[in-house]
Amino acid sequence: MFSSSREIFQRTCAFFGIFNNSILALLILYRSPKKLGNYKFLMMYISIFETLYSLLDFSTIPEIFSKDYVFLIIIEKRLTVLPNFLLQCALIIFGSLFGMSMAIFAIHFVYRYLVMTGSQFIKTHHLLKVLGLIGFTLCMGVAWSFLHSSYHPIPQADIFLDVEYLKPRNLQLTEISYSGPCFQVQDEKGVLRMNWDVVGTTGVMILLISLSFSTVFYCGISIYKNIKSMTSMRSSLDQSLQSQLFYALVFQTLIPVILMHIPASFGFLVSIFGNSIQLFGQLPTFSIFLFPMLDPLPNFFIIRSYRQAITEFFGCILSTTSSHKTDSNHKLEMRPRAAAIVVN
């Protein structure tokens, strides 16, 4: 029952993640302000990234299992639409997308910082440098793939999963694929010791995430100060657009931080010390699926041109519905009159 409810919830969230990001992509293409310039390519990149994330979510329905010293991403083969030989690749891609997401938001803040400070760096070959920022995140994705691939299944994790995860669900090891760190292993005497094979990888991951957070924080504070101090130096229209873009980006960054990075990172860190509980895996299992669905919403409500486009769309629907009702009522009123004429 729990498994079926989780599947319905996750597939529904993934569907709306695809839908909302597709709508945002159309708005970016056709209703972006002209002054947005090449920044729309970065905005489109986020939309495409989150659409692909949702597609992978929808097709695999992953679950995070965390207990004691393990933190694993698990895919039940019966739930996925992918062939078995692709499941391990899908697990590595999940780890890659997790780390890559913060790099993507970091380069957005870097770009907005360069624009607000009037940096000479983006004054020439602007589009190439925007594409270069996108290329940097793709390189980060490849690096995260290599890092996550070191979290391959090991016999100790198989034994732990069999007792703690598989038997309570009446599953066999052959019915799942999994990936993730097992931070402690038993030695020949049966004593738990640190699994040093994953410590280095984990340290690099924590460092990369810390650098991304630091970049976002530094650039965000600098952008906010510039918006406040340059009010008299910019036109009101330009000032309004810069504020809209900044606040939309802030909320668009807070959503994955709150729903994905904080719950997953907490469970991950607690597992290092061997003190995790299953709740620390169940919580991000559900919250991470909400992230691509909710993340486009700040753009819909904060960026004026997108908000106007959505308002116009629903206004057209309401007016069309109202006109249909009016025509129907008019036809109903005419029928008794026509009948009266025939009788007379």
Distance CA 95, CA 62 (A): 12
Distance CA 39, CA 134 (A): 11
* 339 pLDDT higher than 50: no
For residue 59, the model assigns a pLDDT of 93
For residue 343, the model assigns a pLDDT of 44
* 296 pLDDT higher than 90: yes
Residue 227 tokens read as: 């918006």
| pTM of the predicted model as reported, rounded to 2 decimal places | 0.85
Q: Which residue has the tokens 């499941």?
A: 87
Q: Which residue has the tokens 């498994």?
A: 3
Residue 27 tokens read as: 């708005």
For residue 174, the model assigns a pLDDT of 93
- pLDDT per residue over 299-331, tens digit each? 999 999 999 999 888 877 767 666 555 555 555
Q: Look up the CATH architecture of domain 1-309.
A: Up-down Bundle (1.20)
Report the pLDDT averaged over residues 276-284: 91
* 24 pLDDT higher than 50: yes
What is the domain partition of the chain in residue ranges?
Answer: 1-309
For residue 300, the model assigns a pLDDT of 92
Q: Is residue 117 very low, low, confident or very high in pLDDT (cuts 50, 70, 90)?
A: confident
The mean of the pLDDT values for the chain is 85
For residue 165, the model assigns a pLDDT of 94
- pLDDT per residue over 143-161, tens digit each? 999 988 888 888 889 999 9
For residue 232, the model assigns a pLDDT of 52
DSSP state of 150: T
Q: Are 66 and 72 in contact (CB under 8 A)?
A: yes
| 32 phi/psi in degrees, rounded to 5 | -75, 140
DSSP state of 79: T
* 90 pLDDT higher than 50: yes
- pLDDT per residue over 179-191, tens digit each? 999 998 877 777 7
